[in-house]
Chains A and B, each alone.
Chain A
């Protein structure tokens, strides 16, 4: 596709339920990031994937959060037993390669509301 695609765009879930958020990166991009944007916390790094290397999971806030990237392309962020503090916009980004000055292209995000 032309850009990073995320689905769903909005998700409302009940506290305690599990949710899956999907990210389709730009074709050919080897690097993929997840960030969380919430009131009071700003934009936080969650996880980074690069090719077949082990992901950098250092930003995941708890063990209820996990992510995978299948075939070096699509990524799924899973939140188990959702809590109200998980309500946020989850942004996915991809880059054509690894590198400190490489531009990250962002999707429109998934707005998660836990009620």
Chain B
């Protein structure tokens, strides 16, 4: 069965600093991986996804993630944090069993950005 582990429930960075949010997955088959962002009192918005092909995936708002099969990781990065990036971030993997995109989410990482 697929699973996702996000290391660090809270991450705090300075404005302009590198953002690194960690995600490790467990899957018996090549995974489909997603990063979603949730702003306060809002639903989830897709940042980026990995399906097949290029292992470095670029998303919206300057975020990117690299799929590393050898490390079973899909860490999210952004070179320079902005105050508006403060939100909760969820890594997710598709559960293969049903043949549809049933998402298995990590516990989430809350990102704080301070001046």
Show the binding face of A for B, using Cβ within 8 Å: 4, 31, 33, 35, 42-43, 45, 48, 50, 56, 91, 93, 95, 98-109
Contacts and interface: CB of A to CB of B under 8 A. Distances in A.
A60 B40 CA distance: 26
Contacts of A31: 100-101
B98 A108 contact: no
A42 B43 contact: no
Contacts of B44: 91, 93, 106
Given A101-B94, A108-B43, A50 B106 contact: no
B100 A42 contact: no
B75 to A, nearest CB: 19
Complex A-B, nearest 5 residue pairs according to Cβ-Cβ distance, in ascending order? A106-B43, A43-B105, A101-B51, A106-B44, A108-B43
B101 to A, nearest CB: 5
A103 B36 CA distance: 10
B115 interface: no
Contacts of A107: 43
Contacts, number: 65
A48 B49 contact: no
A4 B101 CA distance: 17
Interface in B60-115: 90, 92, 94-96, 98-108
Given A42-B105, A101-B51, A101-B94, A48 B100 contact: yes
The binding surface of chain A is classed by DSSP as: strand
Interface in B17-32: 32
Contact of A101 (B49, B102, B104, B105): B49
B103 A4 contact: no
Given A42-B105, A106-B45, 7 more contacts: A48-B102, A56-B102, A93-B44, A100-B101, A104-B46, A108-B42, A108-B43
Nearest to B44: A106
Nearest to B45: A106
Contacts of B100: 31, 48, 50, 56, 98-100, 102
